[in-house]
Each structure stands twice: as structure tokens, then as C-alpha cells.
Amino acid sequence: MIEFAIDESARRKIEATRELGEKEFRPAGLEADRNGAPIPVGHAFFDRCIERGEGRTRWRGLNPSPGDASKPQSLVTTALQAEELAYWDRGVINSTPGPGLPEGNVLAMGTDEQKEKYLGPFLEPDRPRWACFAMTEPSAGSDAAAIKTTARKDGEGWILNGAKCFIGGASRADWILVQATLDASKGREAQRAFFVEQGTEGLGGFKIERKMGLKAYESTSFTLDDVRVPAENLLGGEARYERKAGFKAALQTFNAGRPIIGANAVGMARAALDEAIRFARDHDLLKRDRVRDRIETMARKVRKSRFICLRAVWLADQQRTNIVEASMAKAMAAQIAQEATALGLELVGSVGGRGDHLIEKLYRDVKAMDIVEGTGQIQRMIIARKLVGLPR
Amino acid sequence: MFDLNADDELGLVVDTARKLAEEVLVPQLRDAESARAVAPGLLDAWDEVGLAGLELPQSLDGAELGCVARVLVNEELAAGDAGAAIALDPYGPALTTLLEVGGVDAAGELVRVLGHGRKRAVLVVDEDAEIELAGDLLTIDAPWVMADEVGAVVVLAGDEALLVTEGWLLEPVRGAGMRAAGAARLIAKEAPIAARWSSRDGASRARARARLYYASLLLGVMRAACDFSTSYAQEREAFGKKIGHHQALAFLITDMQMALDGARLVVQEAAWRVDRGLPCAGEAASAWAECIEVSRLVGPNGVQILGGHGFMADYPVEKHMRESRALGLLCGGFDAAIEEAGHVLVRSDTPLALGVEGAL
Ligand SMILES: Cc1cc2nc3c(=O)[nH]c(=O)nc-3n(C[C@H](O)[C@H](O)[C@H](O)COP(=O)(O)OP(=O)(O)OC[C@H]3O[C@@H](n4cnc5c(N)ncnc54)[C@H](O)[C@@H]3O)c2cc1C
């Protein structure tokens, strides 16, 4: 059974996160939503991130020098912070500078040279810097084994061709970790990841998609047209693939993030709930049984999904397998958060129809939680593989 | 965050309960149901390992374990047979009601009244019965208590806990479930109230503990339903493959398991709050409501997964379906639970804010 207490240090961190979220994230998110465009690269918000010491790599921090007592913080604390930050604005989280999604892959698989070259600039960034991971393609998302972007050996280097879509931060990234296949007929075994630096010839056609929600960060499509990269840009180096398949590491990225996405969803649901209660109180609705029942239902589901998420990260903190639990966390929390925002809108009634209410924004934002990093259906497939041996 | 391992006392208790459920309760499930009693000797064995008085204070020779222990043990036992779980507990939530409202002395009264006989105490919550109080006389009509014989009646009415030691009548009924514990309508006309205690906060905590008592039984029943139907789905074939490999069933099973896991966590957190002396009324009511809601998914679908076979008494899932539904009617059922949880909730502007009281 998991312990339900928050220790003093976690509580202080949550408190700090709350202040940051209220002061910085909420206004930045609302502004981007009004503008219908991502927070622009030169925005002062990003400079303040860098000034506060954010946007840095975990590289080296994970290996504290001798005598350094600081341990990496628990995933439970990270999840609680993720919940709190998403409470204030989920889209803004993804907009913030840093090595972001591919960092885990590079840490897990990258050679020392690759870490130095690609994560090094994030040790003490001179300016806001971004990186991104590009897996999804117009014709393949959930079925990641079916991507069509090709990598062809050409002398010492590689030539990449294909198209990617919905990639977070692609147009502003210093480099993009691109997933490609050596032979599309061979599925995941034949996939490799490549560092493609911004400005490389053939990398282009950047199109920032217009999204329903999460407008604070860019989700961008682009093309790779005979993009030539040197041999050392293959993540992990060639020798690695003689031993292992490339696909596993890509999946690991998805895996690590699931309960955190779940925690994000919990935070968003909480925000919707708080807004709904405030509205109901201001309009003298709380004495109505039906209104209270709906609020109770929302709160009950949200608490449940919070515990489901925390269990998943807690297991990971204990170095125990959490495949089923991590998928449950994401599948459950995303769905419940969607319901919570929908219920919240029903409470505010036609006010929600105006399109300027926070719950209305949350309703749009939260849908992506059931799509990114494996849809709710894909999570259920993963769980079902374990529960009933559902074949792949 | 902590873990239960076999080293600690609680871990041992839970393991003992699990073993008993798997090795004794499950094989005897239908026998106990038709006999309306657990096998003779089982009670003594249970008493001997010291688990009959789980929450009983040490001064009364009990194990003095808390609410977390109770919910863990109840889930294990009920995963075997919920009726037997009730039959094995001489005090039931009547004990925690007296403990919370009247303190150790009140619990001592109950122990004295029950003596060493084999009759159990039953708790009747005001929401589940028609109750009239006139001075020190109780008139009551409780349509369903889970016992064929009763040694003491504890009534939780408003802020009061009443101990009644004589003057009732039991009308045997069939019982929708938990028959191993028995089933009767309990009626009393102007029965003397032997002792009474009053405490607003105590009564609220007593209600919370009663809800968690039944909630944890419900968890056990649902777990049994999930486990049984899940393994069945991996053996039975239709249209050339295991029925569990058809996505419609695979996802249904996934959702059942997910719902159960969530319900368990909210129950355990509420129990943890009880043991810490934190506010727990809203959380317990909410956890109870969640369990009931989940039981509406898990109970009937446990049968559904087995198809026509599930409908037959050859398999335990029909029992799980009946019993999960019946348990969920107690303590005022779903409506009373959400009513209470809702009132607690809307008192706060930000009910789910992190870090309140160092709890989640
Ligand atoms: C805001 C946002 C940001 C994103 N950021 C990134 C990013 O940074 N990098 C990146 O690589 N990608 C990113 N994505 C893409 C995202 O990972 C994919 O959209 C997602 O994996 C789903 O793929 P798809 O859109 O192709 O849908 P599809 O795979 O075509 O799925 C369509 C529907 O079919 C269902 N489905 C598919 N297979 C099965 C099955 N076997 N059984 C049952 N149902 C099934 C799905 O659940 C879904 O409902 C982002 C997407 C969004 C919305």
C-alpha cells in the first residue's frame, strides 16, 4: 500500500510550483490561447525561465560529484509538481525551453560525444534553447512501427527522407531527434533515431499546426528532403544496433511520461473543479442537490485518478515494474479529466458557450492528454497484454 | 511511502487472511452459503490467531489495529467469501461505532455483553432502518441485518450510539447475499436501551469507519469477480481465439481492473486518514460511493464475460454480482454517501489542493 503523506520538502516544492504557476504559467497560457498562436521565441517569459535556472539538462545532475548530497528527487514529487503546474497551464509546460522529450533517449542511449554535443549546450544555456523528438507521421501515429521516413546509408553518413507531423517545438529546436526506418518492411527492428540539426539542408517545410487547445506551444509538421547527416548523428552509434533494436528506446520515452501526463490531466481536472465550485458559489447554486452531486462525482473521480497516477510513479521510485500501472494512470486520468471539464461546463451553463471561460479552455486543452504518448486505446491494449495476454 | 511486507505485523495479518480465504473460504463457498454459516471450528481457529478482535483495544485483549488493517483484512477475506468475512468478525462495525462514540468503556460493554458466546453484534445505521426513540426505549425495523442470531445490537442514530442487549425479534429472510453470515429482519418494539453515548465528531468518524468496513468487503468481492472472469477469458475460446483476445472484452476487462484499482486506492487513503485522526467523513463517504459505482460495472460484467455459464451457480461470478450489489445498499447506500461527501466538499473553495494537512 502506498503512503499518502506529503513530506515537508515535497510540500515546499509544491508551494513554490504553485506560486510560479499562478504568476507565470496561467497568464502566459491565457495570452497564447487568446492570440491563437504559440508563445513566440523572443517572449520575455522564456528569458525569465532561463533566469530562474530552468531549461537545463538533467545530464550530469544525475551523477552528482562526490560529496554532493543532493539526490535526484523522487518521481512522486515530480508527478505532484506536474499536477500543480498543469493546474495553472498545461500548454505552457510544453512551451518551456529545455532538452524536453528526447532528453531521456539521449541519456539512455546516447554516446558520451552525443551527450556532450547535444545536451552540453543545455548545461548552462546562454539563451532559451529547445530540442524535440519526432516520431509521428501523417500516416502513422499509434502504429509507430509503420513509420515511413527512411534512412539510407550513403558513404559514411545517412540520407533521411520523409515527413513528420505534430512535433512539439520543431521549428524552434536546436536539433530534432528523428525516428526513421532502414527498411519499412521490417517494422520496429529496422528503426533508428538520428540527430538532425536545425538549418541542415533539406530539413524544412515547417508548418505550425492550428490546434484546438494547448496553443501555448507549437506542434509542427515538417519534411526531410534528402537530409544528409554524418554517421555520428545516429543515436547510440552503429555498434549499439548490432546488439539491440532501436525501437525499444523510443518506447521507453513514452513509457516514462505516462503517469506524468496522467498527473497533468489530474491538475487540469482540479482546475476545472475549482472553477466550477467558485462559479456555483457565486451564483448560489451549491444548495442544489444536483449541483453538489455533480461536483462530488467530479472530485471523487479526480482523487481516484490522482492516486492511480501516484501509484505508478511510486512503483517506479521503488524500481518496480509499472507497465500496467503507468498505462492505467494515463488512460484513467485523461478520460476523467475530460469528463470533469465537460461537467464543469454544464455547471457554468451558457456562460461556457461564450468561449472565454477557463473551463472552456481546459475542455479543449485536456483532450490531447488522451492522445499524446499513446492514446487511451493504446494504453488499454498495453494493459490487456498483461491482463489477458492480448496478442500484439 | 511504505510497503507491506511479511516482516511487519500488518503484513503477517494480511497474509494470514489471504491464506484463509484461498485455502478455506473459497473451497467452502457454496457450502457456507447453504449452511448459512461458516464451518464449525473456523471461528475458533480465527479467534486463536487473534484476528477476531482486530480493532479491539489491547486492554480488552484485542489486537488494537486500525482502519487500514481492517480494510486490508476485509478485502482479503471477502475475496474468498464476503459472508464468511462477516461471520468471522464477532464485533463488526458495531465495535468501531462504540469506540468512536463512547470510547474504550463502551467497547468494553459490548465485549462483556457478547461474552464468549458465538453470537455476533450487529450495527444498524439510522439510514438503513426505521427508528423511533422514546426515552430509553428503542423501536426499530431494520429490513436486513446479516445474521441469523444476534448477541447485541448497536444503533448509530444521529450523533448517538445505542447499545441494546435484549428485546428484539429476528425474522429470518433469504438474504440477497452474504448468506454465510445469515440474514434476518430485525424488529424491536420499545426495547430497553442498555447504554447510550453521544458525540458529534465520534458519530461522524463511526459512520466513516462503517462505510469503509463495507467498502473493503466490496473491494474483495469485486476483486474475486475480476480475477475469476479474467482468467476465464484467457481459457474460453470463441470465433477461433480466446474470448479475452477480442478487443471488446480485453478493454472491458481492462476497464474493470482499472476501476477496481482506483476504488481500492481511495478506500485505503480514507482509512489512512482515519488512523491519522485527519478529517475523514467526506473521504470515506466518497470512497464508499466510488466502490458502489464500480460495483455496478464489475458485478454484472463479471457474469457477462462468462456468458450463460456466468448465470449459473456452478461459477462464483453470479454470487459476486448479487453480493456486490447487496453490500452497496448499506449505510444509506450511494445517495447518502454522495450527499455527505458533497456537503463536505463544497465547504472548500479548492477541495483537492495539494498539500493540505500534509495529505493528498
Ligand atoms: C498536441 C499534440 C502534440 C503532439 N506532440 C508530438 C511530439 O512531440 N512528437 C511526436 O512524435 N508526436 C506527437 N504527437 C502525435 C501523437 O503522438 C499521435 O497523434 C498519437 O500517437 C496518435 O496517433 P495518430 O494521431 O496517428 O492516430 P492513429 O494512430 O491514426 O489513431 C486513430 C484512432 O485509432 C485508434 N487506434 C489505433 N490503433 C488501434 C488499435 N490497435 N486498437 C484500437 N484502437 C486503435 C486510436 O486510439 C485513435 O483513436 C502529438 C499529438 C498532439 C495532439
Report which protein residue has its CA nearest ligand 1's atom 42.
A377
**Mean pLDDT, rounded, for A352-370:** 93
Which among B136, B137, B95 has a CA at the least distance from the CA of B114?
B95
Q: Give the pLDDT band (50/70/90) at residue A19.
A: very high
* Among A8, A304, A384, beta carbon nearest to B266: A304
* Percentage of chain A exceeding pLDDT 70: 94
Asked whether A193 and A249 are in contact (CB, 8 A), the reply is yes
- Per-residue pLDDT at B50: 79
Å between B293 CA and nearest CA of chain A: 10
Cα separation of B19 and B25, whole Å?
9
For residue A282, being part of any structural domain is answered with: yes
| Total domain count, chain B | 1
Kindly tell me if the per-residue pLDDT of A251 is higher than 60.
Answer: no
B104 touches chain A (CB under 8 A): no
- Per-residue pLDDT at B357: 64
Cα angle, residue A85 at apex, residues A84 and A87 outer, rounded to 5°? 65
**Where is B43: in which H helix or E strand?**
helix B42-48
- Per-residue pLDDT at A255: 62
CATH number, domain containing residue A326: 1.20.140.10
- Per-residue pLDDT at B360: 67
For residue A17, being part of any structural domain is answered with: no
- Per-residue pLDDT at B289: 97
| Residue A209: DSSP 8-state | P
For residue B210, being part of any structural domain is answered with: yes
Residues 75-104 of A with CB under 8 A from B: 76, 80, 83-84
CATH number, domain containing residue B298: 1.20.140.10
For residue A378, being part of any structural domain is answered with: yes
For residue A201, being part of any structural domain is answered with: no
List residues bridging with B144 in a β-sheet. Answer: none
- Per-residue pLDDT at A64: 41
**Mean pLDDT, rounded, for B236-255:** 94
Amino acid A225 reads: D
User: Given the CA of residue A376, which atom of ligand 1 is nearest to it?
Assistant: 47
Phi and psi of B169, rounded to 5°? Answer: -130, 140
CA distances from B327 to A278, A343, B97, B293 (A): 35, 29, 18, 12
Asked whether B207 and B282 are in contact (CB, 8 A), the reply is no
Return the top range by mean pLDDT from B108-117, B192-201, B349-358: B192-201
Question: Hey, are the CB atoms on B72 and A289 less than 8 Å from each other?
Answer: no
Interval A161-210: pLDDT, tens: 999 999 999 999 999 999 999 999 999 889 999 999 999 999 999 999 99
**Mean pLDDT, rounded, for A294-307:** 95
For residue B109, being part of any structural domain is answered with: no
For residue B100, being part of any structural domain is answered with: no
Cα separation of B187 and B139, whole Å?
8
A339 part of the active site: no
For residue B297, being part of any structural domain is answered with: yes
Kindly tell me if the per-residue pLDDT of B8 is higher than 90.
Answer: no
| Total domain count, chain A | 1
Kindly tell me if the per-residue pLDDT of A119 is higher than 60.
Answer: yes
Kindly tell me if the per-residue pLDDT of B275 is higher than 60.
Answer: yes
Mean predicted lDDT score pLDDT of chain B: 94
Range of the domain at B283: 201-359
Kindly give the distance from the C-alpha atom of residue B249 to the centroid of ligand 1, in angstroms, as a whole number: 22
Cα separation of B341 and B270, whole Å?
12
| Residue A6: DSSP 8-state | P
Cα separation of B359 and B344, whole Å?
16
10 Å CB burial of residue A100 (0-12, 13-18, 19+) is buried
For residue A316, being part of any structural domain is answered with: yes
Range of the domain at A367: 245-388
For residue A329, being part of any structural domain is answered with: yes
Q: A59 in the Ramachandran plot: left (φ > 0), alpha (ψ -120 to 50) or beta?
A: beta
Asked whether B234 and B137 are in contact (CB, 8 A), the reply is no
Q: Classify B184 as helix, strand or coil.
A: strand
For residue A43, being part of any structural domain is answered with: no
Between chain A and chain B, how many beta carbons pairs sit less than 8 Å apart? 168
For residue A78, being part of any structural domain is answered with: no
What's this model's pTM, rounded to 2 decimal places? 0.89
State CA A306 to chain mean position distance: 17
Q: Which residues line ligand 1 (CB under 6 A)?
A: A 101, 132-136, 141-143, 166-168, 214, 219, 368, 371-372, 375, 377-378, 381
CB atoms closer than 10 angstroms to residue B60: 15
For residue B124, being part of any structural domain is answered with: no
Burial A298-329 (b: 16+ CB within 10 A, else e): bbbbbbbbbbbbbbbbbbbbeeeebebbbbbb
Cα separation of A182 and A151, whole Å?
5
Reported ipTM: the value is 0.82
- Judging contacts by C-beta atoms under 8 Å, the chain B residues touching residue A303 are 266, 269, 286, 352, 360
Q: How many residues does chain A have?
A: 392
**Mean pLDDT, rounded, for A317-339:** 94
- Per-residue pLDDT at B281: 97
**Mean pLDDT, rounded, for B68-80:** 97
Asked whether B163 and B195 are in contact (CB, 8 A), the reply is yes
10 Å CB burial of residue B235 (0-12, 13-18, 19+) is exposed
Interval B167-224: pLDDT, tens: 999 999 999 999 999 999 999 999 999 999 999 999 999 999 999 999 999 999 999 9
For residue B226, being part of any structural domain is answered with: yes
- Per-residue pLDDT at B145: 96
- Per-residue pLDDT at B355: 76
Q: Which of A103, A218, A360, A373 is catalytic?
A: A373
Kindly give the distance from the C-alpha atom of residue B150 to the centroid of ligand 1, in angstroms, as a whole number: 59
